[in-house]
Structure 1
Amino acid sequence: MSDATDAFYLPAGGDVYEPTRATESPWDTAAQHGGPPTALLAHAIDAAAGPGLRLARISVDFLGPIPRRPVRVEVSPVRPGRQVSLSEARLVAGDRTAVTARAWHIATGPTPPAGGEPFRPPEPPRAGPDRLDVPGLTGWGYGEAVEWRFTGGGGATGSARVWTRVRLPLIAGERLTGLARTLIVADSANGLSAALPMREWLSIPPAVTATLLRVPEGEWVHMDCRTRLSPDGLGLAHATLSDPVGYLGEVSQPLLVRQR
């Protein structure tokens, strides 16, 4: 693992990447937060997509803790097509697949007539604290690699609304894309809106799904997050994504909820 913080990943030849401290999970310094691997797999799938196609949905499954050591990315087509295509990718650590992803790409086309529900973007980010405070945690890599500016909530528990700005490239030497900027933060929905105190309760997302209408314009992505719990130990975290222009898409995460 690398203690560098110039990017989330350092290219290590071929399809191998070395995760830096910026990928560090809040709960285990030897593990990665789910956001950077989600963005890395999406980046690889998107690079293999045909011209005129845009990523519309990605579903990512975390098959266990994601080690913070060199990983290999594998991409393969599932359903090729010129109008819609489905691809999958795997993040392999050693001899174990740690993360899998499936993504639909849809062809762009002429602008349709105006329609749908109006959407009012949140107020632009204001000056103020830009760190993510998690009770009992200080100086963890992923939390420092993103700028967080809350517009509502942001307490120890409950719904939260926050502007995010990723501070680093996804891959060293490459420009940070709007897609990566969005997916690096998407897996934070449950942590931002935890329904129960984190010191006392685990809230573990085995998966995350992001459905995107478009990619953001500019550096800022807003997340309006809420978590709901069932009576029998499950939860569902949800976030509405937007930028200063308007609506971007939705994020959802199923949750395992257990007392520590």
Structure 2
Amino acid sequence: MADAFYVPSGDGFSSTDSTAGPWAPDAQHFGPPAALLTRELEGCGDDGGALARITVEILGPVPIAELRTGAQVDRPGKSVQLLSAELRTADRAVARASAWRLASTDTSAQASGAAPALAPPQDGVPFGRPEGWSPGYIDAVEWCALSGSFQEPGPATVWARQRIPLVSGEEPTPLQRLMTIADSASGVSTWLDPTRYLFINTELTVHVQREPVGEWIGLDARTVLGPNGTGTAVSVIHDEQGQVANSSQTLLVRPR
């Protein structure tokens, strides 16, 4: 296992083998790239507000290679800002992200509607990489199942936390931890055997109610498969204090 998912290199980042996804040994799981784009969005423009919605569009496989990032403010404002970011290899864009940053106000007295808190991670059952899945990202994350897992078809409720930093020498921010894990909702809640089927997400959208506290991120996830090769994975995302976000992923589904 590498010391981090990415290592600073010149004006970009070197990807380590710990970013590798389950589909191919030379392509990244999209959790680390989504978090790297979030890191860029967090550092863009006025940081006085909170990122309330992050959408990452996946333009193609992300190779385990040198990457560059950049971000800009597309819609400035005191209360509402629209940001965008891009992730590139030497010759092409591999992902783009957009985010709404909203002004922060104290609405703690009005907070309502959250899902019930999950049982704590220590009540779950540890699990690891299933047979037939490639090493890399899955090994760089600690997994604990309250129900379901990668090995069981159908909905799943799992806890996960990074074993390594996103970027070498840096402590991940709460949102970076969330985004590193959020893309796994489709994997833990799939109905399909990954050795026989592909279920690749084309995007990841996360609506954030508050930043998570602590290292553990909980996914209460389920996947719906349609009859024409598309599906949707949705999740309520938790920390140990309760709900922090909702996520959705559009899936391309087909036999291998």
Among candidates 125, 144, 148, match of residue 153 of structure 1: 148
Q: Deviations over 1:60-109 (max 9, x none)?
A: 11111101100110112111112111111111101100011111111111
Long gaps (5+) in structure 2: none
Match of 1:162 in 2: 158
- Does structure 2 retain, via aligned residues, the 8 Å contact 1:208–1:253? yes
Among candidates 6, 10, 13, match of residue 13 of structure 1: 10
Q: Deviations over 1:125-161 (max 9, x none)?
A: 12775443323126x1101111100000123311111
How far apart, CA to CA, are the structure 1 residues paired with 2:120 and 2:184? 20
Does 2:11 align with 1:46? no
Match of 1:215 in 2: 211
Does 2:254 align with 1:258? yes
For these two proteins, the number of residue pairs brought into alignment is 255
Matched residue type, 1:190: S
Long gaps (5+) in structure 1: none
Alpha-carbon spacing, 1:118–1:67, altered in 2? closer, same or farther (3 Å): closer
Q: With structure 1 as the length reference, what TM-score do the two structures score? A: 0.93
Matched residue type, 1:239: S
Match of 2:184 in 1: 188
- Does structure 1 retain, via aligned residues, the 8 Å contact 2:45–2:73? no
Give the percent of matched residue pairs that are identical in Structure 1 and Structure 2: 39
User: Which structure is higher in strand share?
Assistant: 2
How far apart, CA to CA, are the structure 2 residues paired with 1:255 and 1:241? 19
- Aligned-pair CA distance for 1:114: 2.8
Among candidates 16, 31, 37, match of residue 35 of structure 1: 31
Q: Deviations over 1:2-36 (max 9, x none)?
A: xx61111100122x001111111112111111010
With 65-74 and 75-84 compared, the bigger mean Cα shift is at 75-84
Match of 1:236 in 2: 232
Aligned CA-pair RMSD: 1.6
How far apart, CA to CA, are the structure 1 residues paired with 2:124 and 2:75? 46
Among candidates 116, 119, 122, match of residue 120 of structure 1: 116
Q: With structure 2 as the length reference, what TM-score do the two structures score? A: 0.95
Matched residue type, 2:186: N
Alpha-carbon spacing, 1:173–1:83, altered in 2? closer, same or farther (3 Å): same
- Aligned-pair CA distance for 1:169: 1.0
How far apart, CA to CA, are the structure 1 residues paired with 2:73 and 2:164? 29
**Which 4+ stretches in 1 moved above 4 angstroms?**
none
- Does structure 2 retain, via aligned residues, the 8 Å contact 1:156–1:197? no
